[in-house]
Amino acid sequence: MVLAAVVVGLVVLELGLRVWFWGYLFTWPNFVLEARTVLAAGDAGRYVHDDRLGYVPRAGHAAPGITIEADGRRSTGAATPGAPILAVGDSFTFGAEVADPQTWPAQLQQITGRRVINGGVIGYGFDQIVLRAETLAPLYKPEAIVVAFIADDIRRTEMRRLWSADKPYFDIENGTPVLRNVPVPPRADPRTTLTFWQRTLGYSLLFDFILRRLDLLHDWFGDHVRVHPAGTGERIACLLTQRLADLQRSSGARVLMVAEYDPVVWDDPAFAATQRAMTGALLACARKQGLATLDSYDAMAATAKPRQLYVLWHMNEAGNALIARLVARALGLKALGLKAD
């Protein structure tokens, strides 16, 4: 009887909520499938499948403030000829939430007069970032390669699928990272990615409503497939710095590793401590491999209000300008009156 009462109560709440929103009284979509279908449709226009990287920005794609050029590069504007600086990374390097000239690679080009290639890609893990550097370096023969990351990129190396997109990943065999899942499979049909609970509770407006209020939709809507236990990514990322060291030797381009931070770092001290420990450990691995490193935390913390350096989740123009100046200084380039180190 108790179970029956609970079920009846949930049904009443479900119908009551649908009456409240009215439109959902007459339509009963699966909210998870709907979200994944919309994401797949949007990504089909923005990205193209890549056998080695999973996906790259679609050359020729244009949206308000965004221009994608050959090889999935984001436009940094007109540049002088000569050996460029190659920037690779995730959405912070790509410059999500800002226009082309406001990304830090574009601002680095503006303040130094040196051509900068923006090879950042939204959603990449550190493993994909390293592979992207290895792919673009032979094409552009840069004099320097800036490898930027946030702590979550380290976690992403533990996955073989993120946000419904399959990706390459590395196993560790005899202390060496071994590339897996290449060629990367094409994106799966969203209808094949739902778990039993997503195929059932996904139809509940009440369940969706509660998860939204608790801010728990990321994993519910997201299609993520893990292949390594939590924490393994730190070891994988550390080992991948050896590949960057090999790239530095083979290309002759100096590699600079740059740690950036998502905005929650400035809201939650405990979270900040964890994120700083992860990024600090990876930077230490890079230094052991002979790579130059830059941790942007102290410079950001020195500003009056670091949280104001973001739009919503990513850096705004001012935040990207700060990163550009720090990178210029770390590379020994003069920028806005800064003296080369």
Q: What integer is the mean pLDDT of 210-235?
A: 91
- CB atoms < 10 A from the CB of 26, how many? 7
Reference 288, options 242, 341, 221; nearest CA is: 242
- Rounded to whole angstroms, how far apart are CA atoms 187 and 36? 11
Q: The tokens of 176 are what? A: 């060496």
- CB atoms < 10 A from the CB of 9, how many? 10
207 occurs within a structural domain = no
Residues 114-167 pLDDT 10s: 999 999 999 999 999 999 999 999 999 999 999 999 999 999 999 999 999 999
341 occurs within a structural domain = no
Q: What is the CATH number of the domain that holds 157?
A: 3.40.50.1110
pLDDT at site 335 = 57
Burial 306-333 (b: 16+ CB within 10 A, else e): beebbeeebbebebbbbbbbbbbbbbeb
pLDDT at site 26 = 83
Which residue range(s) make up the domain with 258?
51-188+223-330
Q: What integer is the mean pLDDT of 51-68?
A: 97
292 occurs within a structural domain = yes
42 occurs within a structural domain = no
Amino acid found at 281:
A
161 occurs within a structural domain = yes
* Strand 254-259 relative to strand 144-149, pairing: parallel
309 occurs within a structural domain = yes
> Residue 337 — pLDDT band, cuts 50, 70, 90?
very low
88 occurs within a structural domain = yes
Q: Look up the pTM and report it.
A: 0.92
User: Is the pLDDT higher at 339 or at 31?
Assistant: 31
Residues 22-53 pLDDT 10s: 778 788 899 999 999 999 999 999 999 999 99
Residues 176-207 pLDDT 10s: 999 999 999 999 999 999 999 999 999 998 88
Given a cut of 60, whether residue 341 has pLDDT beyond it is no
User: Is the pLDDT higher at 150 or at 221?
Assistant: 150
71 occurs within a structural domain = yes
Count how many domains the chain has.
1
pLDDT at site 188 = 93
